[in-house]
Amino acid sequence: MISIVIHGGAGTILRSTMTPEKEKAYQEALATALKIGYQILENGGSALDAVEAAICSLENCPLFNAGKGAVFTATGKHELDASIMDGKNLEAGAAAGVNGVKNPVSLARLIMEKSGHVMLAGKGAEDFAKAMNCEFCNEDYFYDEFRFQQWQDLKDTDSFQLDHSKDERKFGTVGAVALDRDGNLAAATSTGGMTNKRFGRVGDSPIIGAGTYADNRYCAVSCTGSGEFFIRSVVAYDVCAQMQYGGNSLDDACKNTIHKRLGEIGGDGGLIAIDNAGNICMEFNTEGMYRACKNSNGLEQISIYES
Ligand code: ASP
């Protein structure tokens, strides 16, 4: 059994505020990333390679709040967060608050494999990226007019917002989880965080256990939502812990975490998860979540709204 699930963020995603053109563009971007990841698995590649490649594709697409098209910080910059975890050996890598790195998820993987550390932040992460010959892009590459306008609405105020517009409040973070032919699980997440976020603010996405987690014995999880609440609920690991210590199914664990643990403290968002038998779950407490999945049993689905 091989399987991959991806997300492009959750939030107030309503049919009434979506144009057919926009909907098509999102579906195509999700389909492209899904295909890239699935092909790797089909060719015998690892879950780790599949999630990294799927995320790179989403990072390169300006529709999502990760890599190109990331939201603006309070100082008018982009501070990118990403993480990756290998369920085979519980190795993990994360980059927080990096500027200019084209594909932060690949930097996270290099941190996992080559730095001897789990997480590098800010200039230290950028210096490491340079030493590893990661591709850097200038501000123009990351610029997106829509994100810039979102920032203009909040600039010089104390508020910070999820990737939102007047009618929509959404989280454009991207994530992927996969199961490969050898039974290995992997998870990865990448984001620009929140519009007008403070210099140095780090959300859940690069935090192992909060935004991302993978353990071959149980499951792989990637999250999107109000990061501060996801950190406090240790969402990704909570799903895994429920399976490990409570014997819960993947489905029950995801529902408990999103609707009880996270919901009860006021957090909103969602997650994608896969267990070692290939069961998948795409759970959220918002109106919608950009999501897609494909497995070797013939399942293939791309969805945006709740139903
Ligand atoms: N979780 C991300 C953060 O708080 C935001 C998102 O999911 O879009 O940085």
Ligand 1 contact via 238 beta carbon (within 6 Å)? no
Task: Tell which wins on pLDDT, 199 or 146.
Answer: 199
Ligand 1 contact via 191 beta carbon (within 6 Å)? yes
User: Is pLDDT above 80 for 157?
Assistant: no
What is the average pLDDT across 246-263? Answer: 97
User: Quick one: what percent of the chain has pLDDT higher than 90?
Assistant: 81
Yes or no: say if 110 and 98 are a contact pair by the CB < 8 Å rule.
no
- CB neighbour class for 92 (10 Å; exposed up to 12, middle 13-18, buried from 19): buried
- Mutation test of ligand 1: which of 63, 164, 173 has the most ligand atoms closer than 8 Å to its C-beta? 173
Task: Tell which wins on pLDDT, 147 or 160.
Answer: 147
β-strands 269-275, 219-225: how paired? antiparallel
147-156: burial string, b at 16+ Cβ within 10 Å, e else? beebbeebee
Rounded to whole angstroms, the Cα distance separating 265 from 23 reads 32
DSSP 199: T
Of the residues 19, 157, 173, 286, which is catalytic? 173
Task: Tell which wins on pLDDT, 11 or 221.
Answer: 221
The mean-pLDDT minimum among 150-154, 238-242, 277-281 falls in 150-154
**What is the domain-level CATH number for residue 88?**
3.60.20.30
Task: Read off the pLDDT band of 160 (50, 70, 90).
Answer: low
Q: What's the pLDDT at 150? A: 79
User: Is pLDDT above 90 for 12?
Assistant: no
Task: Read off the pLDDT band of 109 (50, 70, 90).
Answer: very high
Q: What's the pLDDT at 102? A: 98
Residue-wise pLDDT for 59-74, tens only, equals 999 999 999 999 988 8
Region class of 202: left (phi > 0), else alpha (psi between -120 and 50), else beta? beta
- CB neighbour class for 185 (10 Å; exposed up to 12, middle 13-18, buried from 19): buried
Q: Structurally, how many domains does the chain consist of?
A: 1
Q: Which atom of ligand 1 lies nearest, measured to the CA of 269?
A: 7
What is the average pLDDT across 279-290? Answer: 95
Q: What's the pLDDT at 158? A: 67
Residue 30 φ/ψ, nearest 5 degrees: -65, -40
Q: Which atom of ligand 1 lies nearest, measured to the CA of 228?
A: 4
Residue 116 φ/ψ, nearest 5 degrees: 80, 0
Ligand 1 contact via 97 beta carbon (within 6 Å)? no
Ligand 1 contact via 9 beta carbon (within 6 Å)? yes
5 bridge partner residues: 177, 293
Distance of CA 5 to the CA centre of its chain: 11
Residue-number span of the structural domain to which 247 is assigned: 3-305
> For this structure, is 224 an active site residue?
no
Task: Read off the pLDDT band of 166 (50, 70, 90).
Answer: very low
Q: Strand ranges (DSSP E) for the chain?
A: 3-11, 80-86, 91-98, 119-121, 174-179, 185-191, 212-215, 219-225, 269-275, 280-284, 288-295, 300-305
User: Could you please report the per-residue DSSP string of 29-66?
Assistant: HHHHHHHHHHHHHHTT--HHHHHHHHHHHHHTSTTSSS
Q: At 254, which amino acid appears?
A: C
Residue-wise pLDDT for 25-58, tens only, equals 999 999 999 999 999 999 999 999 999 999 999 9
Q: What's the pLDDT at 75? A: 87
Collapsing DSSP states into helix, strand and coil, what is residue 185? Answer: strand
User: Is pLDDT above 50 for 245?
Assistant: yes
What is the average pLDDT across 90-97? Answer: 98
User: Is pLDDT above 60 for 17?
Assistant: yes
Question: Which residue has the least CA distance to atom 4 on ligand 1?
Answer: 227
For the chain, the average pLDDT equals 93
Q: Which atom of ligand 1 lies nearest, measured to the CA of 227?
A: 4
User: Is pLDDT above 70 for 165?
Assistant: no
Ligand 1 contact via 270 beta carbon (within 6 Å)? no
User: Is pLDDT above 50 for 284?
Assistant: yes
Task: Tell which wins on pLDDT, 46 or 149.
Answer: 46
